């Protein structure tokens, strides 16, 4: 998957705008929610696709 916006500038901007503690909290929370969403999409959509491609071998 391709991410068009790198995370480092966003983290630096969050720290500059919100301060060190709140910026870190929001960046970590956003990264965690994004990872959970990506996992959920891959889990529910990807499983059916892989099952179609490989059958019962997975």
Residue 27 lies in a domain: yes
* Local confidence pLDDT in tens for the 58 residues of the chain: 566 778 888 889 998 999 999 999 999 999 899 899 989 988 888 888 888 888 887 6
Residue 2 lies in a domain: no
Q: How many domains does the chain have?
A: 1
Largest CA distance in the chain: 51
Look at residues 37, 50, 33, 26 and name the one whose alpha carbon lies nearest to residue 1: 37
pTM given for the model: 0.68
The whole domain housing 47 covers 7-57
Q: Give the DSSP per-residue string, 17-48.
A: HH-HHHHHHHHHHHHHHHHHHHHHHIIIIIHH
Residue 47 lies in a domain: yes
Residue 23 lies in a domain: yes
Residue 19 lies in a domain: yes
């Amino acid at each position: 998957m391709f991410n068009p916006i790198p995370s480092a500038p966003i983290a630096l901007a969050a720290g500059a705008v919100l301060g060190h503690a709140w910026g870190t909290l929001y960046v970590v929370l956003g990264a965690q929610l994004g990872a959970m969403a990506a996992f959920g999409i891959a889990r529910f959509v990807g499983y059916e696709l892989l099952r179609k491609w490989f059958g019962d071998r997975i």
